[in-house]
């Protein structure tokens, strides 16, 4: 086991722990904090996959901005932190199905023959090249993504707006 593998196992364990925390925690804020942990661990996975840029994007946007929204929402909606209301009644069935799904996926992964698997050698892609590709080859999806962001922004503002505020402002 090399050092890299050791690091991978640690990070993977953190990610799985975070994920389990998200779905099992009895406290909503705990769940959100576990989510941050999981997201940071995924960022670590990205680093292991030699995509530092992606890792930083993950940290900046996911862990840094998306989760704050969730925390805000949790605190604003003040959803009852009562443990008995956290999990729905169908959890046993869901657990079975999820485990089945996991089994299926893992089996598929294990039984398949993947390319580039032989030596565990990966390729580091310079982020300049990434940028080139993003803005030339993928320019149209990029623009669409920005449009989607804009629309989401407007939509979120319109939706979250309080009618009372409108009245106040018009006065």
Residues in 2-21 that interact with other proteins by CB under 8 A: 2, 4-5, 8, 12, 15-16, 19-20
Nearest approach in angstroms of CB 154 to other proteins is 10
Measured from the CB of residue 170, what is the shortest distance to other proteins in angstroms? Answer: 13
CB-wise, 124 or 170, nearer to other proteins?
A: 124
d(CA 14, CA 18): 6
Query: Are 122 and 49 within 8 A, CB to CB?
Result: yes
Contact by Cβ (8 Å): 63, 41 = no
- Considering only 115, 136, 169, 170, the residue that binds other proteins (CB under 8 A) is 115
Residues 22-81 that bind other proteins (CB under 8 A): 22-23, 28-33, 35-36, 38-39, 42, 45-46, 48-54, 56-79
Q: How far is the CB of 166 from other proteins (least distance, A)?
A: 10
8-state DSSP, 59:
I
- For residues 118-141, b (16+ Cβ closer than 10 Å) or e, as one string? eeeeeeeeeeeeeeeeeeeeeeee
Please pick, from the candidates 10, 100, 139, 143, the single residue that binds other proteins as defined by CB under 8 A. 100
10, 102, 139, 143: residue in contact with other proteins (rule CB under 8 A): 102
Q: According to CB under 8 A, which residues from 122 to 161 bind other proteins?
A: 122-127, 129-130, 133-134, 138, 141, 145, 148-149, 151-153, 155-160
* Total residues binding other proteins (CB under 8 A): 109
- Residues 74 and 14: their CA atoms lie apart, in Å, by 23
Exposed/middle/buried for residue 25 (C-beta within 10 Å: 0-12, 13-18, 19+): middle
In angstroms, give the least distance from the CB of 161 to other proteins: 9
For residue 146 the two structure tokens come to 């920005």
H/E element, 164: helix 163-170
């Amino acid at each position: 086991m090399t050092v890299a593998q050791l690091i991978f196992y640690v990070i993977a364990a953190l990610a799985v722990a975070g994920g389990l925390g998200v779905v099992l925690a009895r406290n909503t804020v705990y769940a959100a904090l576990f989510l941050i942990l999981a997201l940071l661990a995924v960022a670590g996975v990205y680093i292991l996959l030699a995509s530092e840029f992606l890792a930083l994007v993950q940290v900046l946007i996911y862990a840094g901005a998306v989760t704050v929204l969730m925390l805000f929402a949790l605190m604003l909606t003040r959803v009852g932190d009562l443990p008995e209301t956290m999990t729905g009644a169908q959890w046993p069935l869901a657990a079975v199905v999820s485990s089945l799904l996991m089994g299926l996926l893992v089996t598929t992964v294990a039984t398949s023959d993947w390319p580039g698997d032989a030596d565990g050698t990966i390729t580091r892609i310079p982020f300049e090249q990434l940028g080139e590709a993003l803005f030339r080859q993928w320019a149209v999806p990029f623009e669409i993504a920005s449009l989607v962001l804009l629309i989401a922004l407007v939509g979120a503002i319109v939706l979250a707006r309080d009618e009372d505020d409108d009245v106040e402002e018009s006065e």
